[in-house]
A = this chain, B = another copy of it.
Amino acid sequence: MSFERVAIIGLGLLGGSIGLAVDEALPDVATTGFDADPAVRRRAAERGLAGTICETAQEAVADADLVILCVPVGAMGEVAREIAPALKPGSLVSDVGSTKASIAAALGKALPGHAVIPAHPVAGTEHSGPDAGFASLFHHRWCILTPPADADPAQVDALAAFWRALGSMVEIMDAQHHDLVLAVTSHIPHLIAYTIVGTASDLEDVTQGEVIKYSAGGFRDFTRIAASDPTMWRDVFLNNRDAVLEVLGRFSEDLTALQRAIRSGDGDTLFDRFTKTRAIRRSIIEQGQDDARPDFGRKDHDD
C-alpha cells in the first residue's frame, strides 16, 4: 500500500517543504495544495509547492489518498470539519502539528469513523510562510507518528514509508508521551527564548541598541527561535498546557538552585552543573542532529 495522490492543506514552511520534497523524492505522486490565504496560494503556485493549487480545501482533498493538515494546531479541528464531506472513502488524514494528544482528539471528533494517524516531523527553521519551505527540510530528521490504538497497521506502514521517502527517520510513540518529550526538546526552549528576548527588550538601563550590538555573546541564538511564527507557538502552548507546565516547574526549580549558588558564591555547584551539559551536546552532534563546526559554521568566520 502506498499513496498516489497527496493533498496538502496549509502551504507555509512545513506544507511547502512537503510539496517540494514529494516532487523531488516521489515524482510519480500527484500533489494538490490549498491555503486559506489567496496571496499564499498565488506564491505557492509560482514556487510549485504542489502540482495543483486548488481554490478550496474540499477540492484539494477530493481525490487524495493521503491528506496532510499543515495548519496551526488550533485550526486543525476547524479545517478537518471543512474537508470532512469531501474526503474520499478509505483515505488517510494526517497532520504535522507540534502537539499530538489535543490534535488526535480534535481530528477524532471532526472525522468520526475516518482513518486518522497524527504525525509530527521534528524539523523546522525560524522562517515561515510560502517562501520558507525547501525540499531537504526533513533529511535526517525524526518524524514521530502517534497512531491511535485501532489504526490500520498497513496505513501506519504506508505513512511511515512516505516520511522515509522524504528523508525522515520514523518513530512510533504514544501521543501523551510525545507531548511530554516535545515539551522538553522544543516547547520549553521556545518559551524560554521568547521570554529572555522579551526581558531584554524591556530593561530600562540597557538600550535595545546595546542588546543588538552585543548579541554575539550568546543572546542571538535565542533570538533565532524567538523569531518563529507567533500563531503556531501560541497554539502549541494552549494545546500542550499540562506537559509544558510540568517541565517548566522543573526548569524553575533548577534555575532557582543555580541562582542560590551564584548568590552564595558556590563555585563548585556551578562548575559541576556546567560540566554535565557538555556530554549531551557531544551526543547530539554524533547523532547528526546538529553541526559541529564553531557557531554551526556561521558565515562571519570566513568573511
Other-chain residue from B213, B214, B258 in contact with A191 (beta carbon distance below 8 A)? B258
- A212–B273 touching, CB < 8 Å: no
A243 to B139, CA, bound (A): 43
- B206–A180 touching, CB < 8 Å: yes
Other-chain residue from B213, B218, B234, B237 in contact with A190 (beta carbon distance below 8 A)? B218
Other-chain residue from B245, B255, B290, B295 in contact with A215 (beta carbon distance below 8 A)? B290
Q: How many copies does the complex hold?
A: 2
Q: In the complex, which residues of chain B have a beta carbon less than 8 angstroms from the beta carbon of A267?
A: 74, 234-235, 238
**Contacts A212-B289, A254-B195, A267-B234: A219 and B185 contacting too (C-beta < 8 A)?**
yes
- B270–A245 touching, CB < 8 Å: no
- B300–A226 touching, CB < 8 Å: no
- B213–A289 touching, CB < 8 Å: yes
Q: Chain A 200-234, CB within 8 Å of chain B: the 1/0 string? A: 11110110101111111111111111111011011
A113 to B82, CA, bound (A): 79
A222 to B295, CA, bound (A): 12
- A271–B231 touching, CB < 8 Å: yes
Beta-carbon nearest neighbor of A98 in chain B: B217
Q: Chain A 124-157, CB within 8 Å of chain B: the 1/0 string? A: 1111000010101101111010000000000000
Give the number of residues in A that approach B within 8 Å (Cβ atoms).
Answer: 116
Most chain B beta-carbon contacts within 10 A, residue among A188, A228, A280: A280
Q: A161 within 8 Å of B by Cβ? A: no
Other-chain residue from B122, B227, B254, B294 in contact with A216 (beta carbon distance below 8 A)? B122
**Contacts A126-B281, A212-B280: A206 and B184 contacting too (C-beta < 8 A)?**
yes
- B221–A245 touching, CB < 8 Å: no
- A284–B230 touching, CB < 8 Å: no
Q: Chain A 240-262, CB within 8 Å of chain B: the 1/0 string? A: 01001101101110110011001
- B202–A258 touching, CB < 8 Å: no
A295 to B200, CA, bound (A): 22
A139 to B283, CA, bound (A): 30
- A–B Cβ pairs within 8 angstroms, 11 of them: A140-B300, A180-B206, A186-B214, A192-B192, A195-B273, A197-B280, A197-B281, A201-B280, A212-B284, A220-B284, A228-B274
